Amino acid sequence: MIKAGVVGATGYTGVELVRILSRHPEVQLAGLTSQTYSEQSLDSVFPSTAGFSEAVLETQDIRSLADRCDVIFTALPHGISMDVVQEVVAAGKKVIDLGADYRFDDIKIYEEWYKVTHKTPELAAASVYGLPEINRKLILEADVIGNPGCYPTSIILGLAPLLKNGMVKTDTLIADSKSGVSGGGRGLNLAFHYAECNENFKAYNIGRHRHTPEIEQELGKLAGECVTISFTPHLVPMTRGILSTIYASLVNPCSTEEILDQYRDFYSEEFFVRVHPEGQYPQTKWVYGSNFCDIGLTVDNRTGRVVVVSAIDNLVKGASGQAVQNMNLIFGLDEKTGLDFAPVFP
Amino acid sequence: MIKAGVVGATGYTGVELVRILSRHPEVQLAGLTSQTYSEQSLDSVFPSTAGFSEAVLETQDIRSLADRCDVIFTALPHGISMDVVQEVVAAGKKVIDLGADYRFDDIKIYEEWYKVTHKTPELAAASVYGLPEINRKLILEADVIGNPGCYPTSIILGLAPLLKNGMVKTDTLIADSKSGVSGGGRGLNLAFHYAECNENFKAYNIGRHRHTPEIEQELGKLAGECVTISFTPHLVPMTRGILSTIYASLVNPCSTEEILDQYRDFYSEEFFVRVHPEGQYPQTKWVYGSNFCDIGLTVDNRTGRVVVVSAIDNLVKGASGQAVQNMNLIFGLDEKTGLDFAPVFP
Amino acid sequence: MIKAGVVGATGYTGVELVRILSRHPEVQLAGLTSQTYSEQSLDSVFPSTAGFSEAVLETQDIRSLADRCDVIFTALPHGISMDVVQEVVAAGKKVIDLGADYRFDDIKIYEEWYKVTHKTPELAAASVYGLPEINRKLILEADVIGNPGCYPTSIILGLAPLLKNGMVKTDTLIADSKSGVSGGGRGLNLAFHYAECNENFKAYNIGRHRHTPEIEQELGKLAGECVTISFTPHLVPMTRGILSTIYASLVNPCSTEEILDQYRDFYSEEFFVRVHPEGQYPQTKWVYGSNFCDIGLTVDNRTGRVVVVSAIDNLVKGASGQAVQNMNLIFGLDEKTGLDFAPVFP
Amino acid sequence: MIKAGVVGATGYTGVELVRILSRHPEVQLAGLTSQTYSEQSLDSVFPSTAGFSEAVLETQDIRSLADRCDVIFTALPHGISMDVVQEVVAAGKKVIDLGADYRFDDIKIYEEWYKVTHKTPELAAASVYGLPEINRKLILEADVIGNPGCYPTSIILGLAPLLKNGMVKTDTLIADSKSGVSGGGRGLNLAFHYAECNENFKAYNIGRHRHTPEIEQELGKLAGECVTISFTPHLVPMTRGILSTIYASLVNPCSTEEILDQYRDFYSEEFFVRVHPEGQYPQTKWVYGSNFCDIGLTVDNRTGRVVVVSAIDNLVKGASGQAVQNMNLIFGLDEKTGLDFAPVFP
């Protein structure tokens, strides 16, 4: 049994980790920390977990936690993870960070977009961007995983075959993404107040969302050249789900079916990526509560563009599910272990 | 492995059965029928199931299906199940009917409320009302299970300890229930048209909903006397979940904690009933996608009433999950098998 | 033109007052105050108001505001209004308080339920409970209006004819009410965080909600005797709307149509109360954005109870619309002035 | 008083016309027709209208209706309006068609995209595309108005200043639009079934939605050259509102403020277009229930693109409100008459 700890267990990605790990056949939850709710039982904070966990939330004591664990998941705001990660690594344990601190090859880019000085540049350099479908080999040997952002997961998986195969002009990329409100976390904010979100739809942070540079980093590696992208996030009046609609101009005319073939080929070994047949576009409900990334696309001959639609559950494939997928890889388990639950529909 | 068939697999309770059974470690899905979508693959109708089932939907041929199955779930409108059930029983196989046809001890009551003549009175007499927490022993030996209605499950479990223990006046019972829209099924109806339901709340069928008599039947057996209840269903702008707020006048004054003790005692062996501590009332989100029935209550000394709140997921404990729980009992499995997934929160 | 001020203009009832008053043909908005947003323009806080109001939010200076106004609406938390109201009255102007401080005939009851000492008992004694359909004559001559709570408006209007006519047993009253989330106000609170409310339904404050005593006060006066009621509020995943389902045992058997006749008679002169025909129950969407209270009911002969359903928009008839209705009365205008807009459907 | 009729009064745009026209100070509703509900009172079909209209729905008899009316609004599916419009024009009355039949300068384009043969090509040639902010002069003299589609209204108003001023490359236009579900109408369809839409988000008809050619027609006239656009509609789990996120590459670098200045200038006389300050993007809730089109934008220097966001209420500015705005123009009224209600927020 793998002994796992969660630092920051009472945010939405934290409690989603607990949901998944508590049913994982090869994992034992060895410790959960919370700043806000320490010394309380988990099920008093999240009554949904009653019957699944008798855990009491601990004050954060990383050394003690690392002693009891083989792997620690850090579900903390960016900038806060660095101290924790360093301490876990020093204790010789693996760490999967759900924040942004370990996602970048070049910490200057991190520092520029996040307005934070990185405290552990060596660890950042050694960390791996934990998108298994793209970086599986590197993940297998990593000590520190920078678990991808939710939007980037949907966009990188949505574009990877096109960029890898040189099918599109890299200066024409536009990702118009829409997220459920749980992506904003559990912290109070007027932007996530029910009466302000419900029966409402809006864009935010146009052209300056912090997920932009990690998207460009991974797309650039796939393309073998620098890539810029216009990225616009939106807030949808729903709890879970991200749908990205991605536009790119084709280098050469081709048919929808030809590109779908490339996608089916690229993802032929991937359980968690489902490529839909021509004429069918994914809906967020089709992946609700699951670790799937669903993809559909069409070639628009009138405009010379391909339009790709990808859908994930932002808290599963976009966060905690992908983190467990990374853990499975690191510990030599079947990647699907504990993650092969079906989407909840309707 | 138990070989299971689903008749009516493309309604919401049908596809929920497929979701649960496809991950059940002791079940093999042996056949799914659909009137509307026969000869189509299940995942073309419900893309959420892609990767979990390669089933092709069959035209309804019960004899052939029964030959391949140990148990058949019928997820059909009331009045339609009777022919199917008879044929399955004749083939010597078990049947769990998710409709109303086999829920009644007295078919006259069924016929009066449902305006249908029962075609198989002997089977109706031999069938068992499949609420495991109340009727477990009978279920173990049943050939035909009448799987409880969604509202009745929440109300009967919410009131059972009070009636069993003679704590409340049986002529003061009122159940004010609220259901998500999936309870209305997948059939098109202006009442379930998005723009008519969203940002809206309404009552319907006040005092004449067909779930009333099965509630009174089971409560009457618990109380040892005839019971009538005022039952008002409402439609909530959400997909899943039922919450029942139940009022009853106490025979003698007592404290909230005394009654909670009785509930904890009554349900002490029940994994799927979670009794909340004083001051905490269940929310439908806490049981989302799971087979739990959560219960909280308070004694209101000003009015001499106890107010009980119970919450279930109408498609799981209120339908398909409970059906699988019944199947587990009939086949001698641990009741939790394939059903011990955690609620999806948020 | 009536010059009107709003103290606390940036809560939901405040901005709803602005929406209504800015289109009122006989009103000029003379001043809006806000603690949080003072010195900002209203349309920077609520861009929905752009083009309708060029107001800049003022720091609270009641003397100055009262000088400029004929009437002041106070949209403040309970306990906070008292100082303001006293100052406005001292300046010889009318005040309509949307909080609870001036709703009670007996301030001991107020102090007991609200855990606050009342600072202006004489004003409280002179104030009028501003439910025009019940207290119109008193309102015409009032200086201080205690504008009714949202739940009480729906429940008192729903029960008034039954109690006035002595049709029901006054110890059998139960009001099961359901409210949209805007009723919780604009203040940040985990209970109103989008991901906690959406796709969720819950009860709260069972038997101890502070709206209980004002309901009992007004019902008692209608009945001519003391009345207690079981009142349970619930939170519905929608922004606006309250629906109350109200149960009472009949003194003598009678038909639905007989009671509907009494309601039609009781409300025959009331534009803002719409009594629905037999078999039709109001839905919150039917009153969305409007000042109507819609009522439907049925007699359940099996149980000897009448079940009444009433629906309002909690921010209009349940708060700001009713406040303007009171203002119209006080200033001798047609009660409908500025309030006769149609509900927004769908 | 203008006497107005509505053909197809029981769809969502029809009942929204009734909501607006019933409060319009210069209009008398002279007749409402419905195929489905003829001979029923309007308020039995839409109880929200009780107290505002005593109309009884008529079977469609255009000659009789035209005799009683000065103007007729046709709220019918495309292809169906043509016979009605011809008859109204023959009777010498004005007609405002909310469908697509009279939106096109070139009926070949209409016939190609709608797969229908146009029956009245002369009327189509004489009709005017009823977007007042762009075509006001032509509208003033028109007999037949082709009222714009909902998506096109948001996109054309969003792009007009950029194209008129030659600021963007016309082969780089992408409109990613999101609509509430009421845009799908009141007809039953699994795509608009509550449990299929709620807590879900999807794209549909990518690159082939029928609103594409009218967008290109009007943008082309503004640009003075042929324009193609990639247009992707999406369905948002809300009832009302359209938000379009529009991308275009700039011909020359410029600042956000420079472009905003052009927008403020272009729309300086337009009450119903509100241009937001830099850094603020419109939300659909800000225009809920109103006739506004709100616009915000940003220049993204990293990619050389301008991103425009526009928001409307699809049933008001996107349909019935705009139709009344057109009527006001035709009959020489102030354009705002009956339309200057404030948005409902929250």
Task: Write a three-state SS string for chain A.
Answer: CEEEEEECCCCHHHHHHHHHHCCCCCEEEEEEECCCCCCCEHHHHCHHHCCCCCCECECCCHHHHHHHCCEEEECCCCCCHHHHHHHHHHCCCEEEECCCCCCCCCHHHHHHHHCCCCCCHHHHHHCEECCHHHHHHHHHCCCEEECCCHHHHHHHHHHHHHHHCCCECCCCCEEEEEECHHHHCCCCCHHHEHHHHCCCCEECCCCCCCCHHHHHHHHHHHHCCCCCCEEEEEECCCCCCEEEEEEEEECCCCCHHHHHHHHHHHCCCCCCEEECCCCCCCEHHHHCCCCCEEEEEEEECCCCEEEEEEEECCCHHHHHHHHHHHHHHHCCCCCCCCCCCCCCCC
Looking at the partner chain, which of C23, C182, C283 has a beta carbon nearest the beta carbon of D346?
C182
Query: A with C: how many residue pairs have Cβ under 8 Å apart?
Result: 59
Q: Cβ separation of B190 and D188 shorter than 8 Å?
A: yes
Choosing among D303, D306, D309, which should be mutated to test the A contact, i.e. which has the most A CBs within 10 A? D303
Q: Cβ separation of B12 and D238 shorter than 8 Å?
A: no
Write out the two tokens for B289: 């996608």
B198 touches chain D (CB under 8 A): yes
Q: Would A335 be classed as within a structural domain?
A: no
Q: What is the pLDDT of residues C218-255, one digit of tens each?
A: 999 999 999 999 999 999 999 999 999 999 999 999 99
Q: Would D144 be classed as within a structural domain?
A: no
In the set B150, B197, B254, B293, the catalytic residue is B150
Active site residues of A: 150
Q: Are residues C65 and C185 in the same domain?
A: no
Q: Are residues B275 and B182 in the same domain?
A: yes
Q: What is the pLDDT of residue A53?
A: 85
CB-CB contact of C219 with C229 (8 Å): yes
Q: What is the pLDDT of residue D142?
A: 97
Write out the two tokens for A129: 């961007």
Using CA atoms, how far apart are residues C48 and D259, in angstroms rounded to an integer?
23
Q: Which residues contact B141 (CB under 8 A, 6 or more apart)?
A: none
DSSP letter string, D224-253 = TS----EEEEEE-SSSS-EEEEEEEEBSS-
Instruction: Report the SS3 class of residue D22.
Output: coil
pTM for this structure? 0.98
Neighbours of chain A (3+ CB pairs under 8 A): B, C, D
Q: Cβ separation of A178 and D207 shorter than 8 Å?
A: no
Q: Would B90 be classed as within a structural domain?
A: yes
Instruction: Report the SS3 class of residue C274.
Output: strand
Residue D343 has pLDDT above 90, yes or no: yes
Residue of D nearest to B235 (CA): D194
Looking at the partner chain, which of B195, B199, B239 has a beta carbon nearest the beta carbon of D195?
B239
CB-CB contact of A82 with A101 (8 Å): yes
Residue of D nearest to B241 (CA): D195
Q: Are residues A93 and A216 in the same domain?
A: no
Q: What is the pLDDT of residues A275-289, one digit of tens each?
A: 999 999 999 999 999
D346 touches chain B (CB under 8 A): no
What count of other Cβ atoms lies within 10 Å of the Cβ of residue C242? 29
Choosing among B200, B212, B215, which should be mutated to test the C contact, i.e. which has the most C CBs within 10 A? B200
Chain D closest CA to A202's CA: distance in Å? Answer: 5
Using CA atoms, how far apart are residues D85 and A65, in angstroms rounded to an integer?
76
Q: Would A340 be classed as within a structural domain?
A: no
In the set C69, C150, C197, C293, the catalytic residue is C150
Mean pLDDT of chain D: 97
Q: Cβ separation of B343 and A285 shorter than 8 Å?
A: no
Chain D closest CA to A6's CA: distance in Å? Answer: 28
Q: Cβ separation of D300 and A200 shorter than 8 Å?
A: no
Using CA atoms, how far apart are residues A78 and A81, in angstroms rounded to an integer?
6
Residue C53 has pLDDT above 90, yes or no: no
Residue of B nearest to D45 (CA): B190
Burial (CB count <10 Å: 0-12, 13-18, 19+), residue C289 = buried
Q: Would D337 be classed as within a structural domain?
A: no
Using CA atoms, how far apart are residues B77 and B8, in angstroms rounded to an integer?
9
Looking at the partner chain, which of D15, D51, D340 has a beta carbon nearest the beta carbon of C274?
D51
Residue C132 has pLDDT above 90, yes or no: yes
Q: What is the pLDDT of residues B151-198, one digit of tens each?
A: 999 999 999 999 999 999 999 999 999 999 999 999 999 999 999 999
Residue of A nearest to B272 (CA): A51
Q: Would C134 be classed as within a structural domain?
A: no
Q: Give the residue among B321, B331, B332 at the shortest CA–CA distance from B292.
A: B321
Q: Are residues B109 and B177 in the same domain?
A: no
- Helix, strand, coil: what percent of chain D each, to 5? 35, 20, 40
Chain C environment of B196 (Cβ under 8 Å) = 285, 346
End-to-end, the C-alpha distance of chain C in Å comes to: 34
Chain B closest CA to A188's CA: distance in Å? Answer: 15
A238 touches chain C (CB under 8 A): yes
C237 touches chain B (CB under 8 A): yes
Write out the two tokens for A242: 């991200």
Residue of C nearest to B298 (CA): C206
Q: Would D225 be classed as within a structural domain?
A: yes
Pairing relationship of beta strands A273-275 and B27-33 according to DSSP bridges: unpaired
Chain C environment of B300 (Cβ under 8 Å) = 206-207, 230
Which residue bears the tokens 């209305």? B184
Write out the two tokens for A231: 């990225």
What count of other Cβ atoms lies within 10 Å of the Cβ of residue A103? 27
Residue of D nearest to C343 (CA): D48
Q: Are residues C8 and C107 in the same domain?
A: yes
Using CA atoms, how far apart are residues D51 and C125, in angstroms rounded to an integer?
37
Q: Give the residue among A214, A74, A225, A219 at the shortest CA–CA distance from A151.
A: A214
CB-CB contact of D244 with D293 (8 Å): no
Q: Cβ separation of A239 and B346 shorter than 8 Å?
A: yes
Q: Cβ separation of C198 and A181 shorter than 8 Å?
A: yes
Looking at the partner chain, which of A199, A245, A284 has a beta carbon nearest the beta carbon of D200?
A284
Q: What is the pLDDT of residue A52?
A: 87
Chain C closest CA to D343's CA: distance in Å? Answer: 6
B282 touches chain C (CB under 8 A): yes
Q: Cβ separation of C237 and B238 shorter than 8 Å?
A: yes
Give A204-208 contacts, CB < 8 A, sequence gap 24+: A204/A233, A204/A234, A204/A235, A204/D281, A205/A233, A206/A232, A206/D281, A206/D298, A206/D300, A206/D307, A206/D309, A207/A231, A207/A232, A207/D298, A207/D300, A207/D302, A207/D303, A207/D305, A207/D307
Burial (CB count <10 Å: 0-12, 13-18, 19+), residue A261 = middle
Using CA atoms, how far apart are residues B3 and A328, in angstroms rounded to an integer?
31
Distance of CA C318 to the CA centre of its chain: 3
Q: What is the pLDDT of residues C157-193, one digit of tens each?
A: 999 999 999 999 999 999 999 999 999 999 999 999 9
Q: Cβ separation of B198 and D12 shorter than 8 Å?
A: no
Q: Cβ separation of B344 and A346 shorter than 8 Å?
A: no
Q: Are residues D164 and D308 in the same domain?
A: yes
CB-CB contact of C49 with C42 (8 Å): yes
Give the CATH number for residue A35. Answer: 3.40.50.720
Chain B environment of A341 (Cβ under 8 Å) = 23, 341
Domain that holds residue D8: 2-126
Residue B53 has pLDDT above 90, yes or no: no
Q: Are residues A159 and A90 in the same domain?
A: no
Mean pLDDT of chain B: 97
Write out the two tokens for D57: 């729905």
Looking at the partner chain, which of A48, A50, A199 has a beta carbon nearest the beta carbon of B199?
A199
Last residue of one domain, picked from the residues D68, D93, D126:
D126
Distances (CA, A) of C330 to C95, C131, C146: 10, 13, 13
Q: Cβ separation of B193 and D192 shorter than 8 Å?
A: yes
Give the CATH number for residue C212. Answer: 3.30.360.10
Write out the two tokens for D318: 């996107």
DSSP H/E element including D79: none
Q: Mean of the pLDDT values across residues B209-225?
A: 98
Q: Phi then psi for C47, rounded to 5 degrees?
A: -60, -20
Q: What is the pLDDT of residue C207?
A: 96
Q: Are residues C38 and C160 in the same domain?
A: no
Sheet architecture: strand order including D144-146: D27-33, D2-7, D71-74, D94-97, D144-146, D128-129
Q: What is the pLDDT of residue D53?
A: 85
Amino acid at A94: K
| B192-224 b/e (C-beta count within 10 Å ≥ 16 → b) | bbbbbbbbbbbbbebbebebbbbbbbbbbbbbe
Q: Mean of the pLDDT values across residues B197-205?
A: 98
Q: Are residues C162 and C77 in the same domain?
A: no
The pLDDT > 90 percentage for chain D reads: 99
DSSP letter string, D85-144 = HHHHHHTT-EEEE-SSTT--SSHHHHHHHH----S-HHHHHH-EE--HHHHHHHHHT-SE
CB-CB contact of D99 with D119 (8 Å): no
Q: Cβ separation of C196 and B346 shorter than 8 Å?
A: yes
Q: What is the pLDDT of residue D121?
A: 97
Q: Are residues D155 and D274 in the same domain?
A: yes
Using CA atoms, how far apart are residues B174 and C303, in angstroms rounded to an integer?
10
Residue D52 has pLDDT above 90, yes or no: no
Q: What is the pLDDT of residues D111-167, one digit of tens each?
A: 999 999 999 999 999 999 999 999 999 999 999 999 999 999 999 999 999 999 999
Chain B environment of C206 (Cβ under 8 Å) = 281, 298, 300, 307, 309
Q: What is the pLDDT of residues A38-63, one digit of tens each?
A: 999 999 999 999 998 889 999 999 99
B181 touches chain D (CB under 8 A): yes
Q: Cβ separation of A203 and D237 shorter than 8 Å?
A: no
Alpha carbons within 13 A on the beta-carbon side of A119 = 10
Q: Mean of the pLDDT values across residues A172-201?
A: 98
Q: What is the pLDDT of residues B67-103, one digit of tens each?
A: 999 999 999 999 999 999 999 999 999 999 999 999 9
Q: Are residues B170 and B111 in the same domain?
A: no
Distances (CA, A) of A318 to A17, A271, B255: 12, 16, 47
In chain A, the largest separation of any two C-alpha atoms, in whole Å, equals 62
| Confidence band, pLDDT 50/70/90 cuts, at residue A111 | very high
| Confidence band, pLDDT 50/70/90 cuts, at residue D89 | very high
Q: Are residues A101 and A234 in the same domain?
A: no
Chain A environment of C14 (Cβ under 8 Å) = none
B192 touches chain C (CB under 8 A): no
D232 touches chain A (CB under 8 A): yes
Chain B environment of C174 (Cβ under 8 Å) = 174, 247, 305
Q: What is the pLDDT of residues D216-252, one digit of tens each?
A: 999 999 999 999 999 999 999 999 999 999 999 999 9
Chain C closest CA to B332's CA: distance in Å? Answer: 35
Q: How many domains does chain D have?
A: 2
Q: Would A337 be classed as within a structural domain?
A: no
Chain B environment of C230 (Cβ under 8 Å) = 247, 300, 303, 305, 307
Chain B environment of A14 (Cβ under 8 Å) = none
